[in-house]
């Protein structure tokens, strides 16, 4: 059997492409210069962001984020719920961490939680928005994601709406900033992490769904 040769340049290893027999180089050159159909470049996969309504302590994810206070010694709201569900070993571990500054994050095991890890972060208290609150809240999301990215056992992470409870950060602004910061931080790592925004109420979940639909 004769070897198929490119009808344009004569190179062996050509293939039949419709009516033509072409090598890869000629196929590329002909299609790229005349604007004919060409293999589409697959779209870059963006970060995977989801909305979940419910109690973050029940989620089957690799890591949940705790909206803690600077002592890391437990408190109310989501912090209290996480400590109750994880059991006393979490408090004992947190007591060795020497607290956490606003905007920073620290990681511990999840103990009795379904999640293997808890990433504790301290959101800013809302004082009207002129005291660095947006930068600090963005730092919380970034630092939590950086800890998750450093740990190959973490592929799925769930965040509560940090600072929007007792710390009074306006919910719309907090959700918009959360989505934008997570998107920006994960864009260089396509497919590496799946992030859920865990909302405690229908109203909060609707807010995130609305914002995600219009891609903040």
- Please name the residues in contact with 109: beta carbons below 8 A apart, sequence gap of 6 or more: 89, 90, 93, 116, 117, 118
Q: Taking CB under 6 A as the rule, which mask of x and - marks residues 175-204 in contact with ligand ADP? A: -----------------------x-x----
133 sits near ligand ADP (criterion: CB under 6 A): no
Window contacting ligand ADP (CB under 6 A); options: 2-10, 35-43, 51-59, 183-191: 51-59
DSSP-based three-state secondary structure for 50: strand
Please state, as a whole number, how many other Cβ atoms lie within 10 Å of the Cβ of residue 173: 15
| Candidate list 74, 109, 134, 165; residue touching ligand ADP; CB under 6 A | 165
Comparison of 74 and 165: residue with beta carbon closer to ligand ADP: 165
C-alpha distances (whole Å) from 146 to each of 141, 188, 193 are 9, 12, 11
Comparison of 110 and 123: residue with beta carbon closer to ligand ADP: 123
The nearest distance, CB 26 to ligand ADP, in angstroms, is 59
124 sits near ligand ADP (criterion: CB under 6 A): no
| Residues contacting ligand ADP: total by CB under 6 A | 19
67 sits near ligand ADP (criterion: CB under 6 A): yes
| CA separation for the pair 201, 88 (Å, rounded) | 27
Of 107, 68, 110, 51, residue with least CA distance to 86: 110
> Computed from CA positions of residues 65, 69, 74, 76, in that sequence, does the dihedral angle turn out positive or negative?
negative
Comparison of 99 and 165: residue with beta carbon closer to ligand ADP: 165
Reading the block at residue 199, the tokens are: 């909302």
Comparison of 26 and 171: residue with beta carbon closer to ligand ADP: 171
Reading the block at residue 143, the tokens are: 């630092």
79 sits near ligand ADP (criterion: CB under 6 A): yes
Catalytic residue among 13, 55, 62, 79: 79
| CA separation for the pair 82, 108 (Å, rounded) | 12
Give catalytic residue positions. 79
Q: Which residues bind ligand ADP (CB under 6 A)?
A: 55-57, 67, 77-79, 81, 123, 160-167, 198, 200
């Amino acid at each position: 059997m004769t070897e198929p040769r490119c009808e344009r340049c004569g190179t062996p290893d050509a293939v039949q492409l419709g009516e033509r027999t072409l090598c890869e180089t000629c196929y590329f050159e002909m299609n790229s210069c005349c604007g004919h159909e060409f293999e589409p470049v697959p779209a870059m996969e963006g970060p995977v962001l989801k909305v979940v309504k419910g109690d973050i302590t029940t989620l089957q994810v690799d890591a949940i984020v705790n909206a803690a206070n600077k002592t890391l010694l437990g408190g109310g709201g989501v912090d209290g719920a996480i400590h109750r569900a994880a059991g006393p070993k979490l408090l004992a571990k947190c007591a060795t961490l020497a607290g956490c500054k606003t905007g920073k994050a620290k990681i511990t095991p999840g103990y009795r939680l379904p999640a293997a890890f808890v990433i504790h972060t301290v959101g800013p208290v809302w004082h009207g928005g002129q005291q660095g609150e947006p930068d600090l809240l963005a730092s919380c999301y970034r630092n939590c994601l950086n800890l998750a990215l450093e740990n190959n056992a973490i592929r799925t992470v769930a965040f509560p709406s940090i600072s929007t409870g007792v710390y009074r950060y306006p919910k719309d602004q907090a959700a918009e900033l959360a989505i934008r910061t997570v998107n920006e931080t994960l864009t260089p790592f396509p497919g590496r992490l799946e992030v859920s925004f865990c909302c405690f109420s229908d109203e909060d979940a609707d807010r995130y769904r609305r914002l995600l639909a219009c891609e903040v």
